[in-house]
Structures are given as C-alpha cells and as structure tokens.
A and B are shown apart, each in its own frame.
Chain A
Amino acid sequence: MISILGSTAIAAAAVSSLAGLIFLLRGRGRGDQRLIDRGHRAVIALFVAVTAAVVALEVALIGVDFSVRYVAANINRATPLLFRIIGLWGALEGSILLWAWVLAGYAALVAVRYRGRHQETVPLALAVLLGITSFFLLLMLGPANPFGRLSPAPPDGRGLNPLLANHPLMAVHPPFLYLGYVGFAVPYAFAVAALLSRTLRDEWMTVTRRWTVAAWSFLGVGIILGAWWSYEVLGWGGYWAWDPVENAAFMPWLVATAFLHSVMVQERRQLLRLWNHALIIVTFLLTIFGTFLTRSGILGSVHDFTQSLIGPLFLIFIGAVLVFSVGVLLLRRDEVRDTGSLPAYVSRESLFLLNNVVLLAIAATIFVGTTFPLLAEAVAGVKLTVGPPFFNRLTVPLAMALLVLMATATLLPWGPAPRGALRRFVGPGLLSAALVAVLSVAGVRGLTLGALAVIIFAAAAQLAEFHRGARAMGRAEGRPYPLALVALFSANRRRYAGYLAHLGLALVLAGVAASSAYRTESDHTVSRGEAFSVPGYLLRYDGAALSRHPDKLVVAAAVSILPPTALEAVPSRPAAAVPALATLYPSERLYPQQRTPIPTPAVRSTWRGDLYLVLLAVGPDGAVVLKVITNPLVPWIWTGGLLMALAGLISIWPGRRG
C-alpha cells in the first residue's frame, strides 16, 4: 500500500517536473506569462509530490513495514524511533530521495520568491533546477527505487548499520550536508540562466548571494558534524582521514569559498566575470561528482559499480552537465569578457585572486588524490590508495599560504595599497609575536610553532580590524567601545561576519595543528581498582557493568579521573579510595545484527583538549584493555567550524541593511 503511494508520488513528481520544464521554456520562448505561471505552479506541485514520497517512506520506516525492501534492508523492529526516522538517509535510495526533496524544496522557494521578478532569468533558472531534479527522479524510477517491494515481507528487517545507529549526530549531519550540496544548484542555475538570457550581467550573483552563502554555511556544518561523528563514534581518536567520502564534501566547499571571495571583486570592479561563472559551475559539478563518488559504489571497486545502473547514469549526467555548462560559457564568452583590469599588484583585489589560486590548488590536490586510485584501477587494473601523507604534505603549506593571504587581505583596503598601510600590520604583528614567545617558552617547537605563529597572526589581523573599526566609530560618534563594536558589526554585517568566519578558520586550524602535533595514544591493560597515568591525567579503572537495551547489549567500563596529586599527596592511601573528579564510561555495544561488539568511545572535553577512552577488550578475569588518547584543542575545531558557518548565516540574515 505504502509502496504504491510512494511510487505514485514519485511518478507524479516526474510528470510535474517535465511539465514544468515544458511550460517554463515555452512560456519564456513565446513571452506567455500564463504558461510561465503554470510552470511556477508545476514547481510547487513537484515539491508537494516529492514531499508525499518522503512522507510515505517515513511512514513505512516508522511503522516498520517490511514489505518495502528499503525498510527491510535498513532497519529492524528493535531500531529506536529516532533511528527509524533517520533511516531515510541510511542508504542509497533514501538519500537520493532526500537529494530530490531538498532540490525540489529549493526550486519551490525560488518559484515563490521570484514570482514576477527577473522575468528573463527566473523561468530559465527554474528550468535548469527542474532538469537536475528530473535526473534524480529518473534514478528513483529506475535503479534506485526507494519503494521496491519485498514479497513475502520478512518478519524482521536487517537493522541499521550499527555505526550509523550509534550516535544522534547522524540525525543532523546528512541533512546539513545535503542542504549544502544541493543548495549550490540555485546559484548555478541562475548563473547559467544569466548567460543564456544575456541579462543580469553582474546581478545574478547579488540575486543568488544569499543562497550561495547559505549553501556554503550548511555544507560547512555538514562537514564539521561529519568529522565530529567520526571522532565520537569510530574510536580512532581522529576526525579527518582524507577518506574519499570526506573529500567529496570538502572539494565543493573549497571552490565555493573561492567563489564567495571572487564575487566581491566582480561586485566592486566588474571583473573576473568568466572566472566566477567557471567557479560556480565547478562547484556544482563537484557536488554532483561527490554524490556520484559516495553513492555509486565506485569506491569499493571500479568494477563493482557497473553492476548497477546508478554509476553509469551519474557519469552520463556529469558529462551532460559539463558539456552543457562549458558550451553555454563558450557561447557567451564575449558577454562575460572583463573590460578593466586589477587596480594594482598589491591590493585586496589581487590578494583575492591569489586566495582563489590557493583554494583551487588545494581542491585540485584533493581531486587528484581522490580520483587517482579510481583511474589507476580503471586504466591499469592496479588497486592502490593514496595515503594521508600525500594530502598533508601538499595541503598544509597551501593552508599556511592561505592564512597569510587572509591576514594580508584583511589588513589592506580595496584598491591600490595606500602609503602607510604597512602600519596596520604592527599591532597584530606585536600581539602574535608575544603569543608565539609564550608558546615557545611553553615548549612548542619547530614546524608546529611556525604553523601556530601563522595561525595566530591571521587571527590577530581579524581582531585588529574589529578594533580599528570600533575605535574609529567610537571616536566619530562618541560611543563607548563595546557599543561601538556592536554598532560597527550591525552596520557592516557582511564584512565583519566575514572576519568572524576568518576567526573560525583560525580556531579550526589551531585545533588541527595542536592535535596533530601533541596527540598521545597508549593502550593499558588494567584490573579493577588499578590506577594508571597518561600525559596530563591520573586515571583509575572502577569495574565494568553490563546493561540490556531493546536494540543492543552494552558493556561499559567505569574509568575515573583522579586529581593529579592523588598519588603523591597520600602515598599510603590506596588509589581506590580517592574520590574521582569525573567518571567516563567507554563501552562496547553488541547489536544482534552484528557479531562483533562495537567499541564506543567516551570523550571528556575541556577547552584545553580531550581525554578520549576506548574500551578495546574485556577479559574473563575482570581486567580490561583501554586505549587512552589525549588530544589537545580538538574542541576548537568544532567551535571554529560552527563559528564559520554561523558567521555565514549572520551575514545573510534578513535585516534592515542586509
């Protein structure tokens, strides 16, 4: 029943999508407003139909209807409600449906928001969005049908992959990722529409600026939450492995970041038109490519993926988008030619161009490292991987260059650098020199010290801009400093939100640098009541307990953090008697659908860093094996990443002077 409803909804969505495409293109061709209005309504109908399909799948998931193959394959009766709901994006078919839903939602928003405005472009942009949606609907009508049936229905399902059912972050990471990924379709559609219609020469970016920034912020949140999930669940104490799945999300974010900067040059100087078109096209292509990488099964083996139609269909679609976009760009290349040139070698404009070069170099490096194994297997038949050393060796120096550019571009004004601009470097320079001296006394050395110096300088440059602006405003308007700071921010929200995002990046990179350089890891076999020490902590194992849950068995070890002085202060008193500062419960979870238990780490975070415990084994005699990782500044990564995304959203939040 549900599968019939769902399949009907998808068929209805496909019909609306194609009908809308025809109405919009014909209506625009003939200048027939009634047809265009009908096209707008078809977009709304498409969104309603895809929403109905999502509701149908959710009803099947929540009601554990195992006659739907997707439900039987991904959840079981013991799956808790939250994880039944998020089963929607637990596997291929559901995530394709989510993609289509988000895209239909964006298209409907465009249709509602721009009704009657930009008559030349909006119908075309909507048509492009409908074309993309049609591809995803086609996937669901064919090889990725979320409503495929299973007859007879099995008594119970297989259950969600325990790694996905292990942490509530799974409930929010994929939706944000998809909101980001799919969001770039909107500026892409407007860019193509602007080219095709020869209108909105520079305006399309301002029209879509909010969309681009929103997509960028959502994608950033998605990436950070993914890293966080990997850290909290996988038990390796790391957050980034240059895994193709991670890279797939990171590449479009990098190119979009380049785009966000270079559009400012186009807005101010009407330059870099061709470049900006190319950047948004590449961003969009990378989102499709990322979906292809993670969803076609190509990562398992190049040869596996041809067993389903999904991979080849994706490749054809990517090829079609590429040919179409490049074709349109070449066709209109005279329209997007720049008339002027950059004002000076040393100016904010030229630094933005360099920033673009560095960001694209990072993206290109990651692209090559990610696709090289696929090419090697497809062409030469050898299986190989490109390890993290490759990515680290290339991206770390590039990231440092990016920070230097970020600091310099923040301190320099637009246009040719005036005499005396160097003076602005003095304050942040002195501040960071002092901090670096402190770090050096604290024992930070070598490359880590160098990296932290660059990071601190980049952060100080942002703070200096806030300070300079607030002081000037305070003097001019006679306001006290804190009020001037607030007034400054709200009067130039976009600019200062940008600096806030820069600060977020500095926090992220500080966390990455510190946790890469000063992480410690050790394994301990301990019996009950035994105290042991790791760098910075004195710990005691207090015994393990078994608990039963509907969907799993949990064995948790209690590990107490003792005051560091506990042993020295009262050597006569046994460690077992010392009261604990805090207790952590690393556990092993045994799911019926999996034979081996899944270790679930326990993490204690402070602003200085994390204590990360993994229960590796429980022996018959009550002894346990614990992996203990100390990871400095890791919380800075989450804070900084979320700050960046928040800054993006602040900059586009509707307001009087948005």
Chain B
Amino acid sequence: MMRRARLIIAAVVVVAALIYVIIGGIRGAVVYYITPSELLAQAEQAREKTIRVGGRVVPGSKTWDPATQELRFRLTDGSATVAVQYHGAPPGLFTEGQGAIVEGSWDQAGVVRARSIIVKHSEEYAPPTPRP
C-alpha cells in the first residue's frame, strides 16, 4: 500500500507541475486576434502587446518599395481601417481586396508594425467573386 500511495503522490506532483507550467506558458504566449474596429476601440490597452489584426486589404492602399523593402497597406473590417507597415516583400497570395492577418504591435503613431503577414487561404478554394 505504501508503494501505491507513493505512486499516487508522485503522479499528483507531476500533473500539478505540468498544469502550473502550461498555464504559466500560455499566459505569456497568447496573442489576441482582433478586428480593426476592436483595435481602435481599445487603442490604449492594445499598445505594447503582440496582437493579430485581421481584415481585408483595402484596394489601392498597397505600396511597396523594393529598394527600401517597405510595404504599407491598410486593413479594414468594413467599419474601421488601420494602417499597417511591414519591412519585407509581400508574401505570396497577398492581394488587395483579399483577407490578411498581420501580427505585430500597435505603435504610438497609430500604425500596426507588422512582424509577419499571414494570408488567409482556405483549402477549398473559391474563385474571386465581385464584391458589391
């Protein structure tokens, strides 16, 4: 019985430690996913956190300078729009009018400094449909 009790205690300790470490780890690694409207609504809290902003790339807003590798565009969710700045070339599948998610931080000037751009693409691909 002693052995069994020891085994149970060991199991409890291991599981508790794992839960503690996982919860601690998750807290530091969660990245909130918000829309441009939500970002503007909580502009102050969002500063200095890593955020993911998702929206549609505003047609005509993309500028890219191959010499300086500066990419700028605007993301919209229909009601609010935020400016995004990124150092590097636009990723494949990045198109104006299509969905994109950027991960980065929200700076004092009100620009999202993107560290990465994730282009939404679904496995079941639908042809481009004209938007009203």
Q: Which residues of A contact B (CB under 8 A)?
A: 73-74, 90-92, 158-164, 235, 300, 341, 357, 361, 364-365, 368-369, 372, 382-387, 389-390, 393-394, 523, 525, 588, 593-599, 616-617, 619, 623, 625, 627
Separation of A648 and B25 alpha carbons in the complex (Å) = 34
Confirm or deny: B111 has a beta carbon within 8 angstroms of a beta carbon on chain A. no
Separation of A159 and B52 alpha carbons in the complex (Å) = 31
CB distance A523 to B33 under 8 Å?
no
CB distance A627 to B28 under 8 Å?
no
B4 to nearest A CB, angstroms? Answer: 9
CB distance B26 to A599 under 8 Å?
no
Separation of A598 and B93 alpha carbons in the complex (Å) = 6
A390 to nearest B CB, angstroms? Answer: 3
Contact partners of A625 in chain B: CB under 8 A: 66, 89
Contact partners of B52 in chain A: CB under 8 A: 385
Contact partners of B125 in chain A: CB under 8 A: 158-162, 593-594
Contact partners of A597 in chain B: CB under 8 A: 92
In-complex Cβ contact of A73 among B29, B93, B121, B124 (8 A)? B124
B59 to nearest A CB, angstroms? Answer: 12
CB distance B124 to A384 under 8 Å?
no
- In addition to A158-B126, A595-B128, 5 A-B residue pairs with Cβ atoms within 8 Å of each other are A162-B125, A300-B122, A385-B31, A616-B89, A617-B89
Among A158, A161, A384, find the residue whose CB has the most chain B CB atoms closer than 10 A.
A384
CB distance A372 to B26 under 8 Å?
yes
CB distance A619 to B21 under 8 Å?
no
CB distance A595 to B32 under 8 Å?
no
In-complex Cβ contact of B21 among A74, A160, A341, A394 (8 A)? A394
In-complex Cβ contact of B22 among A364, A523, A594 (8 A)? A364
Q: Which of B35-86 contact A (CB under 8 A)?
A: 50, 52, 64, 66-67, 69
Confirm or deny: B5 has a beta carbon within 8 angstroms of a beta carbon on chain A. no
Among B121, B124, B126, find the residue whose CB has the most chain A CB atoms closer than 10 A.
B124
B29 to nearest A CB, angstroms? Answer: 3
CB distance A74 to B122 under 8 Å?
no
Classify the secondary structure of A's interface with B. Answer: mixed
25 CB-based A-B contacts, threshold 8 Å: A74-B124, A158-B127, A161-B122, A161-B123, A357-B14, A361-B14, A364-B18, A365-B25, A369-B29, A372-B26, A383-B33, A383-B34, A384-B30, A385-B31, A387-B30, A387-B31, A525-B67, A595-B128, A596-B92, A597-B92, A598-B93, A617-B64, A617-B89, A617-B90, A627-B89
Contact partners of A341 in chain B: CB under 8 A: 3
Contact partners of A588 in chain B: CB under 8 A: 92
Contact partners of A593 in chain B: CB under 8 A: 125, 127
A640 to nearest B CB, angstroms? Answer: 27
With A158-B125, A596-B92, A596-B93 as known contacts, state yes or no: A389 contacts B29, CB within 8 Å: yes
Contact partners of B29 in chain A: CB under 8 A: 369, 386-387, 389-390, 393
Among B28, B93, B127, find the residue whose CB has the most chain A CB atoms closer than 10 A.
B93
A141 to nearest B CB, angstroms? Answer: 21
With A357-B14, A389-B29 as known contacts, state yes or no: A161 contacts B121, CB within 8 Å: yes
Separation of A74 and B123 alpha carbons in the complex (Å) = 10
CB distance B66 to A617 under 8 Å?
yes
A653 to nearest B CB, angstroms? Answer: 36
With A394-B21, A623-B66 as known contacts, state yes or no: A235 contacts B92, CB within 8 Å: yes
In-complex Cβ contact of A393 among B14, B25, B31 (8 A)? B25
Contact partners of B88 in chain A: CB under 8 A: 523
CB distance B124 to A385 under 8 Å?
no
A397 to nearest B CB, angstroms? Answer: 9
A185 to nearest B CB, angstroms? Answer: 25
> Looking across the interface, which residue of chain B has its beta carbon closest to that of A341?
B3
Contact partners of A525 in chain B: CB under 8 A: 66-67, 69
> Looking across the interface, which residue of chain B has its beta carbon closest to that of A365?
B22
CB distance B121 to A368 under 8 Å?
no
In-complex Cβ contact of A369 among B26, B67, B90 (8 A)? B26
Q: Which of B85-112 contact A (CB under 8 A)?
A: 88-95, 98
CB distance A595 to B126 under 8 Å?
no
Contact with A along B1-33 (1 / 0, CB 8 A): 001000000000010001001100110111111
Contact partners of A160 in chain B: CB under 8 A: 125
In-complex Cβ contact of B124 among A91, A235, A365 (8 A)? A91
Separation of A74 and B26 alpha carbons in the complex (Å) = 38
B41 to nearest A CB, angstroms? Answer: 14
Contact partners of B31 in chain A: CB under 8 A: 384-387
Contact partners of B14 in chain A: CB under 8 A: 357, 361
Separation of A357 and B69 alpha carbons in the complex (Å) = 48
The 8 nearest A-B residue pairs measured at CB? A390-B29, A616-B89, A383-B33, A599-B92, A161-B125, A596-B95, A525-B66, A384-B32
CB distance A161 to B124 under 8 Å?
yes
CB distance A595 to B95 under 8 Å?
yes
A243 to nearest B CB, angstroms? Answer: 11
In-complex Cβ contact of B26 among A386, A594, A598 (8 A)? A386
B5 to nearest A CB, angstroms? Answer: 13
> Looking across the interface, which residue of chain A has its beta carbon closest to that of B119?
A596
> Looking across the interface, which residue of chain A has its beta carbon closest to that of B126?
A158
Separation of A399 and B59 alpha carbons in the complex (Å) = 46
Separation of A90 and B21 alpha carbons in the complex (Å) = 38
Separation of A623 and B93 alpha carbons in the complex (Å) = 20
Contact partners of A382 in chain B: CB under 8 A: 32
B36 to nearest A CB, angstroms? Answer: 13
> Looking across the interface, which residue of chain B has its beta carbon closest to that of A601?
B92
CB distance A619 to B26 under 8 Å?
no
Separation of A599 and B128 alpha carbons in the complex (Å) = 19
CB distance B66 to A619 under 8 Å?
yes
Separation of A597 and B95 alpha carbons in the complex (Å) = 10
CB distance A523 to B89 under 8 Å?
yes
Contact partners of A158 in chain B: CB under 8 A: 125-127
Contact partners of B90 in chain A: CB under 8 A: 616-617
> Looking across the interface, which residue of chain A has its beta carbon closest to that of B10?
A357
Contact partners of A161 in chain B: CB under 8 A: 121-125
Contact partners of B3 in chain A: CB under 8 A: 341
CB distance B121 to A163 under 8 Å?
yes
> Looking across the interface, which residue of chain B has its beta carbon closest to that of A360?
B18
Separation of A50 and B80 alpha carbons in the complex (Å) = 51
B100 to nearest A CB, angstroms? Answer: 11
CB distance B92 to A92 under 8 Å?
no
Separation of A594 and B91 alpha carbons in the complex (Å) = 15
Separation of A341 and B26 alpha carbons in the complex (Å) = 37
CB distance B28 to A390 under 8 Å?
yes
